[in-house]
Amino acid sequence: MYDSSLLDVRNLEISVAGAEPPIRIVQDVSFSLEKGKVLGLIGESGAGKSTIGMSTLGYGRGKLHISGGQVLLNGRDITQGGRSELNALRGKEVSYVAQSAAASFNPAHRLIDQVVEATLEHGLMTAQQAHHRAIELFAALGLPSPETIGSRYPHQVSGGQLQRVMTAMALCSEPDLIVFDEPTTALDVTTQIGVLAAIKNAIKQTNVAALYVTHDLAVVAQIADDIMVLRHGKMVEQGSVEQIIYAPTQEYTKALLSVRTTQHSEAPAGQGPVLEVRGVTVGYGEADILKDVTLSVDPGHTLAIVGESGSGKSTLARVVTGLLSPRLGDVAFENAALPLKQSDRSRDQLRDIQMIYQMADVAMNPRQTVEAIIGRPLSFYFGLRGQERSARVYELLEAIELPIEFANRYPAELSGGQKQRVCIARALAADPKVIICDEVTSALDPLVAEDILLLLEKLQKERDVAYLFITHDLATVKAIADSIAVMHQGNLVRYGPKSQVLSPPFDEYTATLLSSVPEMRLGWLDEIIAARSV
Amino acid sequence: MIAQRVALSLLILFAVSVVIFVGTEILPGDVAQNILGQTATPEALANLREKMGLNEPALSRYLSWLGGLLQGDLGVALTNGRDIAESLISRFGNTLFLAAVAAIMSVPLAIFLGLVAVRYRDRWPDKVISAATLTSISLPEFFIGYLLMLFFAVKFPAFPSVASVYDGMGFLARLHAVALPAFALTLVVLAHMMRMTRAAVLNVMESPFIETAELKGLSSFKVIYRHALPNAIAPIVNVVMLNMAYLIVGVVVIEVIFVYPGLGQYLVDHVAKRDVPVVQAAGLIFAVIFIGLNLIADITALLSNPRLRHPK
């Protein structure tokens, strides 16, 4: 029936081995894929999209296993094979590109040896041929000095380059199908664009079929021919890219599409700053990681600090909190200079500036209840005990829109969004005037992140607290900022009210940054690449 | 980095020499008394002390001892007047030979068993290996020694129960002689190294790059030895070196059981006789071995990290 299909997945069911009652991660998913086509698998975390991708290699993480349905690859049902049959097809007929290339390369071996390993293991080429092909692929994927980059170790090349090398590794054995599992999610936007273009190019040139797993609809719209939307392990909607992007039929798909449409209207300037960073330089002279940064935030306002990894934005947060002392300059709170070192600050000075972190998971003690976590700053700063403290914890839970029964739960019993809410409550417990939010929504799914941003905005209105909002995500910036500071390699390249920063004329870096954010329309990537190569 | 480790090792060695000297200094008892016996006259004792230089101040005795050491002169045994270096050297050679045989048997075996345990994690080969090595480490060494003797020397006399070696003995004959003590030592050190290999490799098996290797279609064993083992070298080498040190320094009981003329027996003999220079010399040699092996472990661990071998 589907004779032309390379991959044919029918009624796939994946569950946790040995679980009673059975836990099904993926249910009743069917699709087929032809040679040279790209299917995008879209969904939030827990939707089962990576799990489906890996099932085409007959692989399940941990205790996951295919418990029903068929996965036909080149006409063979791979769910029927044992380990040796699977080994015969992994890396030969299907290969895999992981999310974090940095973690997915073995640190102990040279890149070239890892790139050609599968090809040699399956006896597809001689060592010389394989090396030759790897170098060709390095060149095709736009890697610098393709002849010699293979002799480097993973830690010696950048994240964007590693992701290209990983793509070359997947292509080296000339497979029929490649599974891309969020290949650009860990990259900065300006890096992502080059890697996306390289991947798209490579797919076109080699006529390989691909499953492209991502949570980012705008990204998949540039690469895929068809899209399947998944939620809770079930298919929501499947169709061509045009249909899904421009004419979605399901509510959930519409919600995913509309996530980035919230806008925060810029508040007028206040009556003087609550926090000022004055001429801060951090480093040891030659290579300063922050260079003469001056900025301020008004009470009840949000200053978004935008930049890519290595731009110095987290360093700035460490200076403000006193964890890192600047070489020059200082930090002022309500017009009075703060001691540079955290240990020299008074308890009230500490209380006034609180922090919320990116990874809510690791920012909480897993052995403490929510009440203990939120109650700690209450005891520490205000000396609250017993009933009084509990009452305040319940108030805070209400403020973050969690039921008060959550006071007795442990972090492991909370979802990602709920954990981040508890972290917000903990910061609020100190009744601060400034909260530093360090990539607080980066680890969350778009819909959950949206709710967190709305909560932060509501709390700001109620309490007049100022946010120093550190992020690499420009959509988040548009959604929450009053003023914006753009950082690049330790320099403050652009700074001012949001309306001003986001309107032309742009400096070169801000222009690149803004134009690199994927747009939810077809052909965006091609246009931008064409525009840049002129 | 490596130079720093070497310098630190030398400093520790110097500190140990001080500790050894001071330690033997405050030991109760008197060599002269020991040599001459309880019936010796005070005059005879005083004469002997004078002759042996025991009346010099401690600091000057330490300095002359240290100076001698640096020139390879370990001094003279008080009890029999023989040159310590000379008697030590053949003993030390015997100890090294036994340790080397045990190491060559136990290290590859321990790592191999560790890898097998990882490959069949939580299945019967893993459990059998764990149970067997744990049993062998739980039995006291003397018990293992006598057990081996009972089976391989008495019931099925394949090997001698007394591991006597002498100068000019052929290599194979020597090997035959030390077979049982070496085997006993192997059983004693196997479990540590095997369990550390298993734990260290299992730790690496959680890494994402192991998944990458599996998705290339490599066999389980190739995944383990090509991708996991190279990243688990540092902790394994540390435990291997500690066990090597034990094989050289801690084998007194096995030496006694098999009547093997090694360093341990020599040391025990002279401790009993309160022969301070011998005790000091042997103690220092043990310290050199311990520090040296740990230095090797440190350097290997440093070199096994590609980030340090190939900086950006």
Q: Find the CB nearest A90 among B207, B215, B306.
A: B215
Would you call B218 an interface residue with chain A, using a CB distance cutoff of 8 Å?
yes
Determine the pLDDT at residue A262: 60
Give the pLDDT mean for B155-179. Answer: 87
pLDDT band at B8 (very low <50, low <70, confident <90, very high): very high
Find out whether B195 and B133 touch, Cβ atoms under 8 Å.
Answer: yes
The shortest C-alpha distance from B1 to chain A (Å) reads 20
pLDDT in tens, B59-74: 888 888 888 888 888 8
Q: Find the CB nearest B216 among A61, A83, A118.
A: A118
Q: What's the start-to-end Cα distance of chain A, in Å?
A: 47
Determine the pLDDT at residue A1: 43
Chain B residues within 8 A of A153 when measuring between CB atoms: 306-307, 310
Nearest CA in chain A to B206: A62
Ranges under pLDDT 70 in chain A:
1-4, 259-263, 270, 285-286, 534
pLDDT in tens, A389-423: 999 999 999 999 888 888 999 988 888 889 999 99
Q: Pairing relation of β-strands A434-438 and A466-471?
A: parallel
Inter-chain contacts counted by CB atoms under 8 A, chains A and B: 78
Determine the pLDDT at residue B150: 92
Give the pLDDT mean for B129-140. Answer: 90
Question: Residue A107 and residue B216: Cβ atoms within 8 Å?
Answer: no
Determine the pLDDT at residue A260: 57
The shortest C-alpha distance from A62 to chain B (Å) reads 10
Would you call B203 an interface residue with chain A, using a CB distance cutoff of 8 Å?
no
Nearest CA in chain A to B311: A156
Question: What values do phi and psi take at A368, rounded to 5?
Answer: -110, 145
List the alpha helices (DSSP H) in A241-282: 241-246, 251-258
Q: Find the CB nearest B217 among A98, A104, A118.
A: A118
Determine the pLDDT at residue A107: 93
Same fold, A7-261 and A275-503: yes
A408-436: burial string, b at 16+ Cβ within 10 Å, e else? eeebeebebbbbbbbbbbbbbbbebbbbb
Nearest CA in chain B to A60: B211
Rounded to whole angstroms, the Cα distance separating B200 from B229 reads 8
Determine the pLDDT at residue A52: 92
Would you call B227 an interface residue with chain A, using a CB distance cutoff of 8 Å?
yes
Question: Residue A96 and residue B207: Cβ atoms within 8 Å?
Answer: no
Rounded to whole angstroms, the Cα distance separating A518 from A516 reads 6
Determine the pLDDT at residue B275: 80
CATH number of A275-503: 3.40.50.300
Number of neighbours of residue B91 by Cβ within 10 angstroms: 20
How much is the pTM? 0.82
Interface test with A, best of B204, B210, B215 (most A CBs within 10 A): B215
Question: What values do phi and psi take at B133, rounded to 5?
Answer: -70, -35
Give the pLDDT mean for B184-191. Answer: 91
Rounded to whole angstroms, the Cα distance separating B125 from A180 reads 37
pLDDT in tens, A57-66: 999 888 888 8
Determine the pLDDT at residue A3: 52
Q: Fold for domain A7-261? A: Rossmann fold (3.40.50)
Chain A residues within 8 A of B219 when measuring between CB atoms: 87
Q: Where are the domains of chain A?
A: 7-261, 275-503
Nearest CA in chain A to B219: A87
pLDDT band at B110 (very low <50, low <70, confident <90, very high): very high
